[in-house]
Amino acid sequence: MQVTYRIKRFDPEVDKTPRFQDFTLQVGENDSVLDGMIKIREEQDGSLALRCSCRAAICGSCAMRVNGEPRLMCKTRIRDAAPEGLVKVEPMGNLPVVKDLVVDMGPFWQKVRAVKPWLEPPAAKPEREYLAPNEAMREVVGVVACIMCGACVSDCTVWEVDPNFLGPAALAKAYRFVADPRNTDNDERLKSLTEYTGIWDCTHCFYCVQACPKDVAPMERILALRREAIKHGYTDHNGVRHSDSFAQSVKDSGSLNEGRLAVETQGYLNLPALIGLAPVGLRALKAGKMPSPLHHKRPGASQVKRIFNELEKEEKTT
């Protein structure tokens, strides 16, 4: 079948801004997007820069945006990605472009290194090997599947506005070690993950879950890290107050009380932070987005409360 590839090109030595270039070619019914890209490079333009290696969804080097979605090119069939015959290929987002479709993975690896991706063994030499229980390792296996492709980072909405954010891949990796029963320094790890750029900065946009070609579900790992951090006593954080206030206001009234959420997230006694909210309040007022100070209970609020109570009871017994 005939398809057109619309590829984003950028050569820092020649181009001031990126541009799109079209290539038309014949591809097989079962060809992957990567098969087509390699054909273009071999038959039409040898200067096209892209990364690939295994062609089997193992090495993690061919992650790019295909028709707007972060994907592994070797795992994506042309016929699925582009039923209309137009394959638009762009480099991954949120990472600097080196040339054409090649991005600088430096910031990605820097974040992974920052979470100390290794096991901290016990201080004293153990008498014999440690046998990890199957049950505990089951949790870890899902994250070990990560191939470090960076697809999750490509569309992370927090990384986009704050490049200091550790990001979904590094945080999933951190969870891999926190959940491993052989690790001995969870307290230290969780403490540092609770700081700015860590687990509480994620906004639950779900993009990383959608993007991951290995079903690592990084956002779920971040939520699990938050639960662990709370269990370890790291609760003095806006993120913890925010989620507690969110849940409590829905429990009390059946819906979110945004005014209360803003104040309780900062803490009632945190006067400088509360004063700092004033400009935000003024902007919200101007835009007609100021929540009403009179928050009313929604019809059926008692049913919502009952669900909360049941869940809390269940949580206590597990």
Residue 150 interacting entry, from ligand FES, ligand SF4, none, C-beta within 5 to 8 Å by type: ligand SF4
Per DSSP, 268 falls in state: T
What would you report as the CA-atom Rg of the chain, rounded to the nearest whole angstrom?
24
The correct pick among 147, 170, 224, 250 for binding ligand SF4 (CB under 6 A) is 147
Quick count: other Cβ atoms within 10 Å of Cβ 183? 18
Q: How far is the CB of 54 from ligand FES (least distance, A)?
A: 4
Please compute, for residue 284, the number of CA atoms within 13 A of its CA located in the half-sphere on the CB side. Answer: 12
CA distance 275 to 282: 12
d(CA 27, CA 49): 20
φ, ψ for residue 32, nearest 5 deg: -85, 165
Which one of 40, 50, 64, 152 is in contact with ligand SF4 (CB under 6 A)?
152
- For ligand FES, which residue of 62, 112, 212, 219 counts as binding (CB under 6 A)? 62
CB 230 within 8 A of CB 191: no
The binding track of 99-138 with respect to ligand SF4, each residue x by CB under 6 A or -, is: ----------------------------------------
Residue 73: phi and psi, rounded to 5, are -65, -30
Q: Give the residue, chosen from 25, 57, 137, 247, that forms a contact with ligand FES under the rule CB under 6 A.
A: 57
Sole window of 60-68, 100-108, 114-122, 155-163 interacting with ligand FES (rule: CB under 6 A): 60-68
Cross-strand pairs, 21: 7
* Rounded Cα–Cα distance for residues 104 and 252 (Å): 48
Instruction: Compute the least distance from the CB of residue 167 to ligand SF4, in Å.
Output: 6
Q: Which of 78, 156, 170, 199 binds ligand SF4 (CB under 6 A)?
A: 156
Q: If binding is defined by CB under 6 A, does position 53 make contact with ligand FES?
A: yes
Q: How far is the CB of 80 from ligand FES (least distance, A)?
A: 15
What sign does the dihedral 176-181-182-187 (CA atoms) show? Answer: positive
Interface stretch with ligand SF4, choices 31-39, 98-106, 203-211, 280-288 (CB under 6 A): 203-211
Nearest CB to ligand FES, comparing residues 54 and 205 = 54
Handedness of CA 247, 252, 258, 261 (dihedral sign): negative
Smaller CB separation from ligand SF4, 160 or 252 = 160
Q: How many residues bind ligand FES (CB under 6 A)?
A: 12
Give the residue carrying structure tokens 């990796």: 173
Contact call for residue 66 and ligand FES (CB under 6 A): no
Nearest partner of 74 among 50, 94, 98, judged by Cα: 50
Work out how close the CB of 241 gets to ligand SF4 at its nearest, in angstroms, rounded to a whole number.
Answer: 19
53 vs 203, which CB is nearer to ligand SF4? 203
Element (H, E) at 103: strand 102-103
Residues in the chain: 318
Angle at 243 between CA 239 and CA 245, to 5 degrees: 115
225 binds ligand SF4 (CB under 6 A): no
Of 57-65, 128-136, 190-198, 290-298, which segment contacts ligand FES by CB under 6 A?
57-65
Q: Is 145 in the site for ligand FES (CB under 6 A)?
A: no
Q: Are 202 and 172 in contact (CB under 8 A)?
A: no
Binding site for ligand SF4 (CB under 6 A): 146-152, 156-158, 168-169, 172, 202-208, 211-212, 214, 216, 218-219, 222
Binding site for ligand FES (CB under 6 A): 52-55, 57-62, 72, 74
